[in-house]
């Protein structure tokens, strides 16, 4: 095929005017500027579009197509990514949002190289194809081009098809330019040698830019997948808190976007770039990564006596032992009574009845105390001092014969300590273990070599248990020592926990209940007051509820009755 190299020009004199030194230098400057612009572009569609538009500009092409190579082996295809034709006002793909209705070009047909298609040939052989006139060119199939021309009245003439090779020499796509326009008269002329070299240089730069962008995208996808892996591990470890790792980032972003839209108040100047959004998103996903170090029996402690099993069943067994002992004692008393000489029948019957009554009272009291302890085993919002005292009294008043044959208090010191937990199901030591997850989170995140655009992730993720008054943990930071993003995450973390319906120790609260509690947190210096007001006024809570809460949790909210809320 004679057209696999630069074709000779029909009229070299006609091209001389367009290939002056000044024009060439000008286009070289354009090429340098384009190379710098390509290295800065982060959006893949915009990058592809810039490549094609730049190629059209420096070669004065009326139209062009950019293909990307996809698939493996004989399944490889060139997919249309960007299509532009200036005189027909055609703009497809890229940032336009206009779909491209063309099928991909196969590099192989029936296992054989598809050398009849110009773009496929350039990709298969890694060589530029410069065609002066498609209508007179032999060796390539331009039937599709002629059909297009017939429908549109266009005249496709000169073609410059350049393979795009990355720094490893791999073909990643094809850049095809159409109808070079003469600078002087505007007529369609062949692409010159300088056009070809400029296009090849641009294609090389573009291939490297595309490869780098694809590599960054792959690394970001790998990074986010690794984060998902950590959260999945936490989820598998504890089904009660795994959803928390997914929901908090969502609520964080909802509140951050609401703050950014605020036009008044102390936070009116808060703004986020795309990099800032991504950084906050990653921080949200990683805010509880330290929980992977938390013992599962503490995370999943659904009742006060639960460890790897619920020890309330041991308490139940002891009650059964006491009831058995009471029954045995009653039977022994009856047997002794029956053996007593000289006791008349009426007196014996009266004494037997008294033994039965005492046994019934004893069993009834044991059953009541058993039910009481079972209730105490369930964590709640609060436990009265009277109930705590009753637990301690039962634990030491009742005695039972333990497995060693000795007499022991009915409840061990550890069991009493757990059953008298005033709120929730965790002891102070266990709560400290839970709280330590934020220390682990900070250590884990600060140990990573974060790139510049993610350098704030440890601070954002590590501050969601701090308080505005400095009474939080682990560092006791005050409001002024925290970023807005960290304060946003603090509200998101609390509200998610209040409304969560997958906790083992409580039901998910309604919106009105949660907002009342959150309002009290504002008043006592726990959360940022300005962020809380935005959270309510912009109805961030409702947007979140519609995504994640059950219908019965979404009740009517009277915002005027929320403690501390300033509309």
pLDDT, tens only, 209-256: 888 888 888 888 999 898 888 888 777 776 666 578 889 999 999 999
In the predicted model, is pLDDT for residue 130 greater than 60? yes
pLDDT in tens, 492-537: 999 998 998 866 656 789 999 999 999 999 999 999 999 999 999 9
What's the mean pLDDT in 10-31?
A: 55
Asked whether the bond before 474 is cis by omega within 30 degrees of 0, the reply is: yes
Helix, strand, or coil (residue 402): coil
More confident residue, 407 or 299: 407
Which range is least confidently modeled, 144-158, 277-291, 314-328, 400-414?
400-414
In the predicted model, is pLDDT for residue 272 greater than 50? yes
Task: Check residue 37 and give its pLDDT.
Answer: 65
pLDDT in tens, 80-110: 999 999 999 999 998 888 999 999 999 999 8
DSSP letter string over 506-556? SPPPPHHHHHHHHHHHHHTTSS-HHHHHHHHHTTHHHHHHHHHS-GGG---
In the predicted model, is pLDDT for residue 549 greater than 70? yes
Which range is least confidently modeled, 133-137, 144-148, 274-278, 505-509?
505-509
Task: Check residue 35 and give its pLDDT.
Answer: 64
In the predicted model, is pLDDT for residue 32 greater than 80? no
Task: Please tell me the distance from the alpha carbon of residue 157 to that of residue 194, in angstroms, as a whole number.
Answer: 18
Q: Which helix (H) or strand (E) holds 66?
A: strand 61-70
Token readout for 370 is: 């058993």
Q: Are strands 105-106 and 77-85 parallel, antiparallel or unpaired?
A: antiparallel
Q: Which of 288, 306, 289 has the alpha carbon at shortest distance from 297?
A: 306
pLDDT in tens, 459-502: 999 999 999 999 998 999 999 999 999 999 999 999 998 998 86
More confident residue, 296 or 39: 296
Which range is least confidently modeled, 53-57, 65-69, 358-362?
53-57
Task: Check residue 457 and give its pLDDT.
Answer: 96
Q: Do residues 391 and 376 touch, judged by C-beta distance below 8 A?
A: yes
In the predicted model, is pLDDT for residue 123 greater than 90? yes
Give 23: exposed, middle or buried? Use CB within 10 Å, 0-12, 13-18, 19+: middle
Task: Check residue 26 and give its pLDDT.
Answer: 67
Task: Check residue 16 and give its pLDDT.
Answer: 39
Angle in degrees, 0-180, between the axes of helices 540-548 and 484-499, rounded to the nearest 10: 50
Interior angle at CA 418, CA 417 and CA 420, nearest 5: 70
In the predicted model, is pLDDT for residue 302 greater than 60? yes
Mean pLDDT (the chain, rounded): 87
Q: Which of 445, 553, 6, 500 has the alpha carbon at shortest distance from 240?
A: 500
**Beta-carbon contacts of residue 345 (< 8 Å; ≥ 6 apart):** none
Note the Cα 526 to chain centre separation in Å: 26
Task: Check residue 446 and give its pLDDT.
Answer: 94
Helix, strand, or coil (residue 246): helix
Helix, strand, or coil (residue 335): helix
Task: Check residue 243 and give its pLDDT.
Answer: 76
Place 294 in a pLDDT band, splitting at 50, 70 and 90.
Answer: confident
In the predicted model, is pLDDT for residue 171 greater than 50? yes
In the predicted model, is pLDDT for residue 143 greater than 80? yes
Q: Do residues 180 and 189 touch, judged by C-beta distance below 8 A?
A: yes
Task: Please tell me the distance from the alpha carbon of residue 39 to that of residue 364, in angstroms, as a whole number.
Answer: 82
Task: Please tell me the distance from the alpha carbon of residue 446 to that of residue 276, in angstroms, as a whole number.
Answer: 18
Helix, strand, or coil (residue 490): helix
């Amino acid at each position: 095929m004679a057209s696999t190299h630069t074709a000779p020009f029909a009229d070299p004199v006609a091209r001389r005017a367009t290939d002056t030194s000044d024009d060439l230098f000008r286009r070289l400057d354009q090429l340098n500027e384009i190379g710098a612009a390509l290295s800065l572009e982060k959006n893949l569609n915009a990058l592809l579009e810039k490549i094609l538009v730049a190629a059209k500009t420096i070669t004065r092409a009326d139209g062009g197509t950019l293909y990307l190579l996809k698939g493996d082996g004989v399944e490889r295809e060139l997919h249309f990514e960007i299509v532009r034709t200036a005189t027909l006002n055609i703009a497809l793909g890229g940032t336009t949002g206009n779909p491209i209705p063309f099928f991909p070009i196969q590099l192989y047909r029936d296992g054989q190289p598809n050398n009849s298609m110009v773009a496929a040939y350039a990709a298969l052989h890694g060589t530029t194809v410069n065609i002066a006139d498609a209508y007179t060119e032999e060796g390539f199939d331009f039937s599709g081009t002629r059909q297009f021309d017939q429908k549109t009245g266009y005249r496709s003439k000169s073609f410059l098809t350049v393979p795009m090779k990355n720094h490893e020499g791999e073909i990643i796509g094809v850049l095809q330019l159409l109808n070079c326009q003469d600078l002087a008269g505007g007529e369609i002329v062949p692409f010159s040698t300088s056009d070809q070299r400029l296009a090849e240089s641009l294609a090389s730069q573009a291939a490297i830019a595309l490869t780098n962008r694809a590599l960054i995208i792959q690394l970001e996808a790998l990074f986010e997948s690794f984060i998902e892996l950590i959260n999945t591990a936490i989820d598998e470890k504890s089904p009660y808190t795994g959803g928390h790792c997914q929901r908090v980032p969502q609520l964080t972003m909802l509140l951050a976007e609401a703050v950014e839209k605020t036009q008044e108040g102390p936070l009116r100047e808060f703004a986020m770039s795309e990099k800032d959004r991504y950084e906050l998103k990653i921080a949200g996903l990683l805010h509880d990564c330290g929980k992977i170090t938390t013992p599962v029996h503490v995370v999943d402690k659904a009742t006060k006596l639960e460890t790897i099993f619920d020890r309330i069943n041991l308490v139940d067994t002891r009650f059964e032992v006491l009831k058995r002992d009471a029954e045995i004692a009653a039977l022994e008393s009856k047997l002794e009574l029956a053996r007593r000489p000289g006791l008349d029948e009426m007196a014996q019957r009266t004494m037997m009845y008294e033994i039965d009554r005492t046994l019934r009272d004893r069993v009834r009291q044991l059953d009541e105390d058993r039910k009481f302890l079972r209730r105490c085993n369930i964590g709640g919002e609060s436990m009265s001092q009277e109930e705590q005292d009753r637990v301690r009294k039962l634990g030491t008043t009742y005695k039972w014969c333990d497995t060693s044959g000795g007499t022991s208090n009915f409840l061990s010191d550890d069991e009493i300590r757990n059953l008298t937990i005033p709120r929730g199901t965790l002891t102070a030591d266990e709560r400290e273990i839970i709280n330590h997850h934020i220390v682990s989170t900070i250590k884990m995140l600060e140990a990573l070599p974060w790139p510049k655009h993610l350098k704030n992730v440890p601070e954002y993720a590590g501050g969601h248990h701090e308080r505005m008054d400095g009474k939080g943990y682990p560092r006791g930071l005050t409001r002024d020592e925290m970023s807005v993003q960290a304060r946003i995450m603090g509200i998101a973390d609390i509200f998610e926990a209040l409304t969560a319906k997958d906790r083992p120790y409580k039901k998910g609260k309604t919106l009105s209940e949660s907002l009342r509690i959150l309002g009290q947190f504002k008043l006592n210096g726990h959360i940022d007051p300005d962020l809380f007001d935005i959270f309510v006024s912009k109805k961030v809570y409702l947007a979140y509820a519609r995504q994640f809460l059950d219908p019965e949790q979404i009740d009517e909210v009277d915002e005027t009755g929320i403690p501390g809320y300033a509309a």
